[in-house]
A and B are shown apart, each in its own frame.
Chain A
């Protein structure tokens, strides 16, 4: 049913979870298309994932250099035009640096990198990437970051809450000091989502703590079929 849906996965220098994102796309039933940071062409894909990692070594500031990669130019235009884009971890940071999403991600409040199986609650199912979840559904997926604390000014946070743009929230433990326990947000249209935890690491029971992450990828594929 979702056969033929092509989802691009961008590789920046220092991207690490690009293979994992591509695998998740395939398991969800889509076709993963490798996109190269230096190629200003989206090759006609139906959606794009900016994967986790340390693009450009996270030097200067996480995502700050990747934001200027040639591939970002058509991507920013396409995202503003409604193309589904998911930024995971470092990808979330790139989306914030690109101003496709508001706010920023800062050093974890406890100052350590943290890798743990994290419980989150899906707060919005109206985005391109969360439509297959039930509202309020609680899931467990890996989280791994050193700079995952989501911050924005109060007005922005209030607006995100008011517009239903908080996509996911940490439950139980807030692992990085994110304001209002925010784990992920979307743009106003709901096509661009930034998420700090890693759904692509929770798509197989053998390698993930759960398979709870798979619905991020099936959501976008289902959305394309329905569109």
Chain B
């Protein structure tokens, strides 16, 4: 404990000391800039702070210049109560209710240590939502893994699923949806994204700012330990290399029980009006919370680091500043209210300590054992990090890839081949039932889950009296984005938007998690810039704003990047959840219709992927005007109760959509392929802006009239049959294909347990 601590006085006196900035992930010019800002070399504590806050993960230094489009192209909207830049965006859903939602990546930690990586991913996003003043009400997990049969996937997936379940279940948040996608492009770089949604009244919105000179800075929650040091800089902002050092010590360890107490304690202090500003501690820990709070408030803060309660007394001040120990929050409280604040913390057995005070000095000053070890302008740490205009270049292989269309792949030409193709797809890992995973998540807790997986969207009741609720879906087809990142991002938006509308909710706002390879590769940077441009253009066209999001770079092994994967989450609002539409066939005799037009669009399709291992050509065309009209039809049909089921057509085409609708409640249907189209194209094409719906016979005409008013094609293709019956498709290359629901069920359900059970 006699180790000498590097003070500001030392840094001034001993200016030429060589510092390990490169090991901390800083580039030479970034280090030079820190020296320029401070007019001296940084102390080791300051160096630690800048290194984590200027990391790619925290500073968005490579993405910032592109992300500005989400603001520049923001549609005219009055639903946004809090926009991009805060912990999470907040939207107005009516009746005085506000909803906040956000998705974040925890990709790198989850590869290194699947259970804790995934668990703390949930923990982190939940605290983001909580710090806005909202009660977290549901989580979802968009997940991507390497090939389903690869041995490492068997290591990663069960751990990730157990971590999400272990943390989320113990926290008491229903898990209502998400995605599970397998593709060898994610081998070595699984994507573990976590979404949380929270609800609050408008007046309960809180922001992360340290206002009021003399107010106290309170750190509360778990004690600070040595876990997760450098998580954002060492893990999330670098590519994994073969033979590098083990990075497990950089992964945080979660305690969901503490997080549950933190939620209840935080909501109680907020509702009691005891908090001036609040911030969660996530990536970059105390460095981030203090510098962001100070920068957003009066501009100054004086912190006594000795007051931070520690799990490990041997931690150095640099480690304390960088630690990403979980389940911690930071609040700004007036001296008059501090006792009341601490009382509530005691009630919940939550440790709370005053670690500093708000000043207007314009400096963030941190003391350790009576000596000043940090004295910096907080804005330079939190907001004025480096900004890079990384070089971008359309990859040389893009033309070749787009020229290699799926026309080269042999297509089924008989009814028998179609039958076998349906079974192959139904049992393929991406389309197979995800029950093995989702049954490990609690979808019932809190008692407001209206729809959960495998429905098109998760839906939560917000107001138990009026029935007002929200629906959320996350989507992205990485193969489409690889073929054309601009269209790929729009396609992800379109699918998510459609999934929300299919349940009867009106799409309102967008969040995103942009997962890409290394920004230092111009080809990846081009993919990224194209995807951001596509998403921003798409949101403008659909008239729904981006409320926030997250960027995850360096998802690559060596020089091989993942498929560009801009995961898009859309949130919609429904006036009364009693009017929601499920995907299940239910009533015998209901008419089955397809809304939207089908074209020969099989490039990048699930069929090409599963049957031919083929990826090439251009992805399906995206028509956002058609998507908007289709969504209007679906919302109107739900509101007027003329639709009895609706299911988005996407991966696997109409065939897969029909199978999923039949298997949902084990009720069959008899349909026919229209006479003027190719049977294979009709059943397996992945054209966009299409939904399969059902309507009671006496309501079909009303539904058709709603569709006609919006110029959406509505074609009757058959009717729902009895429970337990078959799914029969007539006129498949002149024959009738009848599929046993029991056999389809067994095929769909067997795949994941066989791989991971």
Contact = CB atoms under 8 A, between A and B. Distances in A.
A and B part of one assembly: yes
B170 A200 contact: no
Closest 6 CB pairs of A and B: A57-B257, A16-B172, A20-B447, A201-B444, A54-B170, A142-B444
Contact of A19 (B170, B443, B446, B577): B446
Contacts of A201: 444, 447
Given A57-B170, A58-B170, A113-B440, A13 B257 contact: yes
Interface in B141-199: 162, 165-166, 169-172
A115 B257 contact: no
A97 interface: no
B578 interface: yes
Interface in A11-68: 13-14, 16-17, 19-20, 23, 38, 52-54, 56-59
Interface of B: 162, 165-166, 169-172, 255-258, 260-261, 347-349, 438-450, 461, 464, 577-578
Nearest to A21: B447
A113 B447 contact: no
A113 B163 CA distance: 11
Contacts of A20: 444-447
A116 interface: yes
B447 A200 contact: yes
Contact of B257 (A56, A114, A200): A56
Interface residues of A, number: 30
Contact of A57 (B256, B442, B446, B464): B256
Contacts of B255: 57
A207 B451 CA distance: 8
Contacts of B349: 13
B442 A144 contact: yes
Contacts of B439: 112, 114-116
A10 B708 CA distance: 55
A52 B162 CA distance: 20
Given A114-B440, A198-B444, A54 B449 contact: no
A16 B136 CA distance: 13
Contacts of A56: 257
A206 interface: yes
Interface in A109-136: 112-116
Contacts of B446: 19-20
Contacts, number: 85
B172 to A, nearest CB: 3
A115 B164 CA distance: 14
A4 to B, nearest CB: 22
7 contacts: A16-B171, A17-B447, A53-B172, A58-B257, A114-B440, A115-B441, A144-B169
Given A13-B260, A115-B442, 7 more contacts: A19-B447, A112-B440, A113-B165, A113-B441, A116-B439, A204-B447, A206-B461
Identify the interface centre among B169, B347, B348, B578: most chain A CB within 10 Å of its CB.
B169
B444 A14 contact: no
B172 A115 contact: no
Contact of B170 (A14, A142, A206, A208): A14
A112 B752 CA distance: 14
Contacts of A144: 169, 442, 444-445
B261 A13 contact: yes
A13 B442 contact: no
A114 B165 CA distance: 10
A57 B256 CA distance: 7
A14 B260 contact: yes
Contacts of A198: 444
B172 A207 contact: no
Identify the interface centre among B165, B258, B447: most chain A CB within 10 Å of its CB.
B447
Contacts of A204: 447
A193 B171 CA distance: 26
B440 A115 contact: yes
A200 to B, nearest CB: 7
A206 B462 CA distance: 13
A18 to B, nearest CB: 9
Contacts of A113: 162, 165-166, 169, 440-442
A16 B440 contact: no
B136 to A, nearest CB: 12
Given A114-B439, A206-B577, A206-B578, A23 B447 contact: yes
Identify the interface centre among B349, B441, B445, B578: most chain A CB within 10 Å of its CB.
B445
A54 B439 CA distance: 18
Contact of B448 (A13, A17, A200, A207): A207
